Structure 1
Amino acid sequence: MKIKIIIVDDESHARSFLKKLCNHLYNDKIEIVDECDSVKKAVISIKKHNPDIVFLDIQMPEENGFGLFKYFETVEFDTIFTTAHKEYAIDAIKNSALDYLIKPIDIKDFKLAISRFFKAKLDRVNLDRYKLLAENIANQNTGKERIVFASKTGFEVVQANTIIFCKSDGAYTIVHTLDKKYFTSKSFKETCELLHSSNFLRVHRSFLININFINSFRSDEFILEMITGDKIPVSDKSFTKKELIDAISK
């Protein structure tokens, strides 16, 4: 059975180019079921055709491509964003979409994007990535009780007030909570940005701590001890003793 594709772009030549690539390179595997020049038309078409992949332009005059997802309670199709604007948050796009293509589209990049779809189809995780993205973007304030972290196998929903500390692990992050440890695919920088409320304090280039779980501070070694017994180094380049106490006491 062929995979069904809808192309959404307000420029006819861009739709035509993508259609030619699909037909020329994957004629036996892909069927273009519709072409749309706006988000409004795309919503109708997606509900009618139930596509496997939507090629989605971001910058369109009537409504931005990101607006498409608010019309669906559950997103059951993969999206490959297409954009000529590199200033968009590419990291966010990569975390929530199958892939993205920068215009003018390179054929090698196009083939890689399609290959990723077929690979993902083999071991797909039942994860609504678009809701995850929207939830994290809409709730940048960690006064929110739940935080959603992408993981190797899907995603983890963590109560923010149970997080004791986060530790950088290369390109990833280990999140330590009261009852378990999570290995997430978010970078440490992204994790710090997500957990930016007054309860969390970055005390070292590799450690973010929840000040509510501090047990003691050893000023001779610049070490924080958490209630779990974990010892967290404090960068003396970032804090003096007084500055650390002031930050914790706020």
Structure 2
Amino acid sequence: MKIKVIIVDDETRARSFLRKLCELYFRDKIEVLDECNSVTAAVRSIKKNQPNLVLLDIQMPNENGFELFKHFEVINFEIIFTTAHKEFAIQAIRNSALDYLIKPIDVEDFKIAISRFEQKNDSKIGIDRFKLLTENISSQFADKQRIVFPNKNGFEVIQANSIIYCKSDGSYTSIFTIEKEYFTSKTFKEVCDILEEPDFIRVHRSYLVSRNYIKSFKSEYYRLQLTNGAEIPVSEDLFTKKKLIDAITS
């Protein structure tokens, strides 16, 4: 069964480009049902055509892409956001385990996003993530920001301020919080992109540490001691002793 797609963008050229990507690389997998130039038109088309996937521009006249959610009690389709701006909302999208593409859209990024969509088969996860997105947008800079980390069974919702440190584990990442250890299918780089400075410091190529849980630094062994008893190596290539102190205290 083909993936039924609706493209939503106020720019004709952008809609045409996305259609061409679908037809060129996923002709046997994707059927583009409609192209819409506004949220209002998209709502009508979605209700009529019942797509599996909506390629949704964020910045549009009158209403931005996020306004789409207000028109649906249940969202039973997936969304890949598209935007020309790396504004704060991108962080909210990322934290909600949703996909986005930065314009100009790279072909390989587009292919990866579609492949990720194909791997998603739990509609309940989608509904929960869209609810979480609206919360993350409204409380982007809140102290108790909630972040979604996908795992093999679905996902975990973790309070960012409960994370003590994260450790690279091949293509996956271990996340150590006050309560327990979590294992996510996100790569270490993706986790580092989500948990940004100044609250989190990448002290080693395999370790990301929360400043709030650093207890002491052992310069003899070049290791940080954390409040949960863990000892984390610090890369001397990344930090001198002074630079580390500045990073922790700034």
Relative to the length of structure 1, the TM-score reads 0.65
Stretch of structure 1 that moved more, 186-195 or 226-235: 186-195
Cα deviation per residue 1:160-219 (whole Å; 9 max; x = unaligned)?
232110112334322111222112233333323332354432222221112332333211
Which residue pairs with 1:189 in the alignment? Answer: 189
In structure 2, relative to structure 1, the CA distance for the partners of 1:71 and 1:190 (3 Å cut) is farther
Whole-angstrom distance in 1 between the partners of 2:115 and 2:202: 39
Q: Mapping of 1:122-201 within 5 angstroms?
A: 123-124=121-122, 126-128=124-126, 129-133=129-133, 135-136=135-136, 139-141=139-141, 143-196=143-196, 198-201=198-201
Stretch of structure 1 that moved more, 126-135 or 223-232: 126-135
In structure 2, relative to structure 1, the CA distance for the partners of 1:151 and 1:132 (3 Å cut) is farther
Cα deviation per residue 1:130-186 (whole Å; 9 max; x = unaligned)?
445555566554623422223333221112232110112334322111222112233
Q: Which amino acid aligns with 1:235?
A: S
Decide whether the 8 Å contact of 2:144 with 2:161 is kept in 1: no
In structure 2, relative to structure 1, the CA distance for the partners of 1:142 and 1:205 (3 Å cut) is farther
Q: Which amino acid aligns with 1:184?
A: T
Q: Which runs of 5+ in 1 are unaligned?
A: none
Relative to the length of structure 2, the TM-score reads 0.65
Which residue pairs with 1:245 in the alignment? Answer: 245
Decide whether the 8 Å contact of 1:3 with 1:30 is kept in 2: yes
CA RMSD in angstroms, aligned pairs only? 4.8
Q: Which has the larger radius of gyration?
A: 1
In structure 2, relative to structure 1, the CA distance for the partners of 1:217 and 1:127 (3 Å cut) is same
Cα deviation per residue 1:118-139 (whole Å; 9 max; x = unaligned)?
x557x42521344455555665
Q: Percent identity?
A: 53
Q: Mapping of 1:20-169 within 5 angstroms?
A: 32=33, 36-54=36-54, 56=56, 65=65, 68-69=68-69, 71-72=71-72, 74-79=74-79, 96-97=98-99, 120=119, 123-124=121-122, 126-128=124-126, 129-133=129-133, 135-136=135-136, 139-141=139-141, 143-169=143-169
Which residue pairs with 2:234 in the alignment? Answer: 234
In structure 2, relative to structure 1, the CA distance for the partners of 1:178 and 1:137 (3 Å cut) is same
Q: Which amino acid aligns with 1:237?
A: D
Decide whether the 8 Å contact of 2:80 with 2:98 is kept in 1: no
Q: Which amino acid aligns with 2:124?
A: N
